[in-house]
A = this chain, B = another copy of it.
Amino acid sequence: MRPGGPAREVAKRLTPEARRAQIIAVAERLFTTHPYGELGVPEVARALGITSGLVYHYFPTKEALLVAAVEARARELLESCLPDAGLPVLEQIEHGVRGYFDYCEAHSLAYRNLLRGPTASEPEVVRICESARVAIVEHFVQAVGVASKGMPATRLALRAYMGFAEHAIVSWLEHKQVARATLENMCRTMMLTALRVGLSSDASSPSSARQLALLEQACQQRFSTT
C-alpha cells in the first residue's frame, strides 16, 4: 500500500466541489468540539488525512473555513424557514415557524453550536447569524405589506422575537420539556403578537395602521373558522 493509505487514494478522486464540501464538513465538526483558539488548518488537514497545502488551496485561513461552514448553515436555515411570499401572512408565520423547527431538529448540534458553541462569539459568526436574522425579519416585514424603510417598532419587535425563538429552541433541543407542537404554537403566538404590537406602535404611519387592520382581519377570519 502506498503511503497515506486508502483514505488518501479515495480522497484523490474527489471533484473540487466535493473536496471543498468535505473540508467544510470536517472543519465544522472540529469547530463544534474544540476551542477555536486550539484549532488551525493543520488540525483540519490531519483529521482528513490530507496535506495542509491542499486545505490552503481551498481556504487561505482558518477564519475562511469557519466563515464558509457558518455561511453554509445559515443558508440552509434560511432555505428551510423563509416561506413562499405569495401566501397569506398567517400561513407564512405557520410555515416559517415549522420550517425553522424542522431545520433545528434535523441539525440540532449544528444549530446549538452556531448560537452557543465555542465559536459563537467570533465576530464573523456573530455577523453571519445577525444577517440571517435580518433576512428573516425583512421577509416578514414584507409579508405584512411593509415595503418601505421605517417601521422601527415592527422591525425591532420581530428582531427581538428571533431572540425569543432562539432561547426557546436551544432550551427545548436540550431538555425537550414540552411537545414540539406546544413550542411551535408558542412561537407562532409570540411572533404574531410581536407583529401586532410592532405595527400598532408604528401606527402613526398610515401604511402601518392599514397593515395592522388587515392582520387583525386575517386573525379574526382564521380563528373564527378553525
Contacts and interface: CB of A to CB of B under 8 A. Distances in A.
Contacts of A155: 177
Which of A156, A160, A161, A168 counts the most chain B CB atoms within 10 A?
A: A160
A159 B190 CA distance: 13
Interface string A118-129: 001100000000
State the oligomeric state as a number of copies: 2
Contacts of A162: 167
15 contacts: A37-B37, A152-B178, A153-B177, A153-B182, A157-B190, A160-B165, A160-B190, A162-B167, A163-B164, A163-B168, A164-B167, A164-B190, A182-B201, A189-B193, A189-B197
A198 to B, nearest CB: 7
Interface residues of A, number: 33
Nearest to A165: B160
B201 A194 contact: no
Given A156-B168, A163-B166, A197 B185 contact: yes
Contacts of A160: 164-165, 167-168, 171, 186, 190
A84 B176 CA distance: 32
Nearest to A192: B193
In the A-B complex, list the 9 residue pairs whose CB atoms are closest, starting with the nearest.
A163-B167, A160-B168, A121-B121, A164-B164, A152-B177, A163-B163, A160-B167, A193-B193, A160-B164
A172 interface: yes
B177 A156 contact: yes
A48 interface: no
A72 to B, nearest CB: 22
A37 B189 CA distance: 42
A183 B164 contact: no
Contacts of A185: 197, 201
A165 B198 CA distance: 14
A139 to B, nearest CB: 17
Nearest to A168: B160
Contacts of A152: 177-178
B156 A171 contact: yes
A92 B63 CA distance: 46
Contacts of A186: 153, 156-157, 160, 194, 197-198, 201
